[in-house]
Each structure stands twice: as structure tokens, then as C-alpha cells.
Amino acid sequence: MSKVTVVSPTWLRANYLVRCLTALERQTRLPEEVIVVGRREDMPAQQVVADFAKRGHLSVRWVEVDKPGHIAPIKRGLEETKCEIVAFLDGDTEPEQGWLQALLEPFTNPKVAPVQ
């Protein structure tokens, strides 16, 4: 089975991030790691990540980026992962329970390969 990281860029939406991480905890297939990427000044989001890390349901960690916009956190998340597959999920979204499992289903076919 392939290992997967979920990279979640976030910015000043801690209340949405709670719902996003809760939905990730309820997935039928949990990711090996969740990397939440945000800026240093977003202290509420950092606290959310710390709280979820303590719960132990997900392997979740905070990574900082110092540039505004959406591309910088995406690139930073890619730099941090060590898994074979990376899925991106904005921190203000709530994936349905089978989202990750459905996303990974095509990779069970040996003829399917990831693309960089």
C-alpha cells in the first residue's frame, strides 16, 4: 500500500482547520502524515495543530512559510513530505469520509504511476 501525505495550506482560519482535521481523523483510510503549512503569525492555527498532534489520531505537524499566497505553502509542503503520494487539501475544507480512500484507489492498479 502506498504511503500518503496530506498537505494543508492554511491562513487565519483556525476554526475551519479544526473541522478539516476532524474530518481527516474520520477517514476510512488515514494518511501517514498531515502537514499543515502556515505563517508564523497565525498562532491560532498553530495551536490547533498542536492540539491535534496531542490527540494522537493523526500524525500532524506544523510547517512555516514566510511568503504570502498559495504557491509558497504548496511548495513547502512538497519539500517536507517523504511519502510516495501527496494530496492537497485546503485548511478550510472538510473532506467526506471516503475521500482519501477514493483518491488512492487508482494507485492500487500496478499500471498507474504518480507523476511529478
Q: Which domain holds residue 96?
A: 4-108
- Angle made by CA atoms 83, 94, 114, in degrees to the nearest 5: 30
CATH of the domain at 24: 3.90.550.10
Whether 114 is in a domain gets the answer: no
Q: 114 Cβ partners below 8 Å, 6+ apart? A: 84, 85, 107
Q: What is the residue-averaged pLDDT of the chain?
A: 93
Q: Is residue 113 part of a domain?
A: no
Q: At what angle do helices 14-25 and 43-55 cross, to 10 degrees?
A: 20
- Asked if residue 106 has pLDDT above 90, the reply is no
CA distance 56 to 25: 10
Quote the number of domains for the chain: 1
Is 96 within a domain? Answer: yes
Range among 62-66, 67-71, 107-111 rated most confident? 62-66
Residue 74 lies in a domain: yes
Q: Is residue 20 part of a domain?
A: yes
Q: What is the pLDDT of residue 115?
A: 56
Average pLDDT (108-115) is 72
Q: Please indicate, yes or no, if residue 115 is contained in any of the structural domains.
A: no
Is residue 49 included in any domain, yes or no? yes
Cell of 31: 494518511
Q: Tens of pLDDT along 1-12?
A: 789 999 999 999
116 found inside a domain: no
Residues of the chain with pLDDT > 70, as a percent, come to: 97
Q: Does residue 61 carry a pLDDT above 80?
A: yes
The confidence band for 41, taking pLDDT boundaries of 50, 70 and 90, is very high
Whether 47 has a pLDDT exceeding 90, the answer reads yes
